[in-house]
Amino acid sequence: MSDVGVLLTEKQIERVERDLDVKLPEDYRSFLLRTNGGKPRPDFFPVQGHKTISSGRVEQVFGLARPVKESNIDWNYKNLIGQLPNYHFPIAAATEGDMVTLSLGKLDEGRIYYWIRAEYNVTGDNEAYFVAGNFTKFLDSLYAVS
């Protein structure tokens, strides 16, 4: 992971959870404490269930208190609320404004999805496509394209 952020404390994560009224899964919280976001290498991930897209590409995994506001989870959550599928929390920017999201819903809590902004902008469809069972599996699924 390159372009990692400044180290966070548990209190900072708890404050954001309280401010946004969310509870983040432990593996994602651990990642934030270790790296506070960044740019992964490799950076491609598999996408399931889409008719024409089989992979996506991560540009930036969000963190907290990062100097560029667009790379912060709280900024993205506040700006995308009402656009993302219900109970989805943005955790990473993908190419062309797409997002990697974390489900906070009871039925699929912790699962990782790919939300395609263009489909929402053109058709109003806010469906997200399955990527991984949890954040750790998402990181493990990243691969390089040569």
Q: Alpha-carbon distance 129 to 114, whole Å?
A: 5
| Percent with pLDDT over 70 in the chain | 97
Q: What is the DSSP code (8-state) at residue 32? A: H
Enter the tokens of residue 79.
């700006």
For all residues of the chain together, what is the average pLDDT?
94
DSSP class of 106? T
Question: Residue 146 has what pLDDT?
Answer: 75
pTM of the entire predicted model = 0.93
pLDDT at 122 over 80: no
Tell me what pLDDT residue 121 has.
65
Instruction: Decide the pairing of beta strands 112-115 and 88-94.
Output: unpaired
Tens of pLDDT, residue by residue over 32-41, are 999 999 999 9
Domains detected in the chain: 10-141 (3.40.1580.10)
**Proportion of the chain above pLDDT 90, given as a percent:** 88
Is 70 exceeded by the pLDDT of residue 76? yes
User: pLDDT category, 127, cuts 50, 70, 90?
Assistant: confident
Please tell me which residue, 140 or 126, carries the higher pLDDT value: 140
> What Å distances lie between residue 123 and 37, 86, 92, 117, 126, CA to CA?
31, 17, 23, 10, 9
